[in-house]
Amino acid sequence: MSGPTTAILVADPVAVLLSAAGIRAAMAVREGYQRSAELSLSHQSEHTSRLQQQQDAILQGQNALRQQLNDAEAEFNRLLLLGQRLGAAQRIQSGRPEATDDDPATLLRALQIYNAEIKTILLTQSAQQNDVPDSQPDFSTAGEITVAQRLVERISHLGAIPEPIQKLLTQLGLDLPPQRQELLHNELRRMVQLHLEHSQQQAVQEASALILRHTLNELGYQVQEFSDTLFVEGGVVHFRRHDWGNYMVRLRVNEKSLSVNFNVIRAVQNADNERSVLDHIAEDRWCAEFPALLKAMEARGLGLDVTRRLEAGELPVQQVDSSLLPTFAEPESRHTDIPLKARNLPDHSF
C-alpha cells in the first residue's frame, strides 16, 4: 500500500531523446491520416470531373514522391549506421515511423521529421564523446584556423553559434602569441562542450515531458494539459481515470532536485477534516497502478528512482477545492483520435 510517493528522475539522455523522436514521428503519421480522411470527405462533395483532375495531379507527382521517400529511407539507413557505433541502433529502429503503402506522403513527412531529430541527437552525443584530437596542435595561422573550425563544427548542427563563442573566434583570428592562442583554444573547447551539454540537457527535459504525457495517455489516464517546460520550470499536473469520481493524482515536479512527487487528492466543495474509507481505497488503487507507470517510463529511458513512499492512510488524503482543479471531460464527450500503432518497446538501456 502506498500514500504520497517521491522519486528522482533518472534519464538516459540518448534513450529519452530517441523515444521522444519516435513518439513525434508516430504523431505525424496520425496527423497525416487525419488530414487524408478530411480531404477524402471534402472530395466526396466535389464534382466528379474536378475530382478526376485532382487525382491526375496526384498521379503526376507519384514519381517525385517516391524519389523523396527513397532519399529519406537512405538517410535513415545512414543514421542507423551512426547509431550502431553509439549503441543506439535498436532503439532507432524501433521508433521508425510506419504508414500504409497507400499513404506515402504521410510516411515521407514522418520519416523526414524522425530523421532530422535523430540526426541532431546522434551528432550531439557523438560530439560529446569524441573530443578534437589536437593534444599537440600546430599554432601557426593555418593550424589555428583548423583547430578552431574543428571545434566549432561539433556544434554546427545545433544552429546559430552562441555570441560568447563567436567573440572567442574573433580573438583567435588575431595575431596572438602561441601561449595566448593555446589558452583561447582551451577556453573554446570548454565553451563548446558546455554548449553541447546544455543543449542536450534542455532537449532531454522537453522530451521527458512529452514522454510523461504520452505514457499517461497510453495507460488510459485523463491528463491535465502541461507545457514541455515542466521539467525545466517545475510545476503541478493532475491526472485521473474517468471512473475515479472526485479523486485524482497530483504530480509535482521540483526542477532543482529533478524530483517528482505523486499523491492522491480528493476534490471537494468545502474542505473539512473528515477521512473516508474511500480515501484508503483510492490510495490502494493508485498503488496498484503505479508500477505500470514506472515500467512504461523506464522502457523509454526515463527512470524514476523512488526515494520516499508512505503507507496508504499514513497521512490524510489532501482535500482540494474543486474550483482550483482541472475539469476533465466525461468519456462520451472526449475527442476520439486515431490510436498510435502499437510497437514493442526495447527493454535495454545504453
**Any domain includes 22:** yes
Count structural domains, the chain.
1
Residue range of the domain that includes 83: 5-126+203-333
- Rounded Cα distance between 173 and 88, Å, is 38
Nearest to 267 by CA among 328, 331, 323, 329: 323
Please give the grid coordinates belonging to residue 18: 530517441
**Any domain includes 173:** no
**Any domain includes 347:** no
**Any domain includes 9:** yes
Please give the grid coordinates belonging to residue 73: 529511407
Angle at 340 between CA 337 and CA 341, to 5 degrees: 140
**Any domain includes 73:** yes
Pairing of strands 259-268, 318-321: parallel
**Any domain includes 319:** yes
Look up the pTM and report it. Answer: 0.81
- A 10 A CB-CB count for 232 gives 16
Contacts of 276 (CB under 8 A, 6+ apart): 266
**Any domain includes 163:** no
Q: What is the residue-level pLDDT of the chain in tens, covering all 350 positions?
A: 457 899 999 999 999 999 999 999 999 988 877 776 555 555 454 544 454 555 555 555 677 888 899 999 999 999 999 999 999 999 999 999 987 666 788 889 999 999 999 999 999 999 998 754 444 444 444 444 568 888 999 999 999 999 999 999 999 888 889 899 899 999 999 999 999 999 999 999 999 999 999 999 999 999 999 999 999 999 999 999 999 999 999 999 999 998 999 999 999 987 666 777 889 899 999 999 999 999 999 999 999 999 998 877 778 899 999 999 999 987 654 444 444 444 444 444 43
**Any domain includes 349:** no
Residue 305: enclosing H or E segment and its boundaries? Answer: strand 302-309
